[in-house]
Amino acid sequence: MTGQRVTRKAQIAVLVSGGGTNLQALINEEKLGHIPHGHIALVISNKKDALALKRAEKAEIPAIYIKRDRKNPKDFEEKLLKLMAEKEIDMVVLAGFLSILSADFIRHFPNRIVNIHPSLIPAFSGPGYYGIKVHEKVLERGVKLTGATVHLVNEITDGGKILLQKAVKVLEDDSPESLQKRVMEEAEWVLLPQAVENLAKEIG
């Protein structure tokens, strides 16, 4: 015996719906050894053809599509919980996951769910502010600074404790798409892996 303490890494589930560039940032940072206290153990999408699923498969992470029927969202969450229990998931990352989780589900992971939002919360956040819409509203209002926020998820949309924020300048000639790209590159892909490592460390 060397007396070395074997610590278990926090097992992470990432929920996605789309392109999965934030998931990719997490995969890359884990590979680089920048998330030493966590391990991405499961990726779940509520969209069958999400590119994020392909990214996970390429990284050899179990990647599963679960159909989410609007009329019966409980079914989705029950399947999700079952899979998470099987994989002994400790924390959940919402990385471009475009559905709202119920208070019931959130109660299973108190202070253990993080979300990335593409604005400086509380600005441009809450119901209706998601994806490209956030950047359209930012440009409409003419603010000079926007950014991204990683926050804990509670039952209020975008209302949980703020963990990390980073500001990004809005340029004169920005389109919603160019702004979205810069917010991702300069803020989201930097903040999310950092926040995930911080929480994984806290859990461990």
User: Footprint of ligand GRF on this chain (CB under 6 A)?
Assistant: 18-22, 52, 95-96, 116-118, 130-131, 184, 188
DSSP the chain: ---PPPPPPEEEEEEESS--HHHHHHHHHHHTT--TTEEEEEEEESSTT-HHHHHHHHTT--EEE----TT-HHHHHHHHHHHHHHTT--EEEESS--SPPPHHHHTTSTT-EEEEESS-TTTT-STT--THHHHHHHHHHT-SEEEEEEEE--SSTT-SPEEEEEEEEPPTT--HHHHHHHHIIIIIHHHHHHHHHHHHHHH-
Active site residue 108: no
**Shorter beta-carbon distance to ligand GRF: residue 49 or 86:** 49
Nearer to ligand GRF, 85 or 171 (CB): 171
In the complex, minimum distance from the CB of residue 27 to ligand GRF, in angstroms, rounded to a whole number: 11
Report the nearest approach of ligand GRF to the CB of residue 5 (Å).
35
Q: Smallest gap, in angstroms, from Cβ of residue 11 to ligand GRF?
A: 21
If the CB atoms of residues 78 and 154 are measured against ligand GRF, the closer one turns out to be: 154
Given 39, 108, 117, 151, which residue is catalytic? 117
Q: Which residues are catalytic?
A: 117
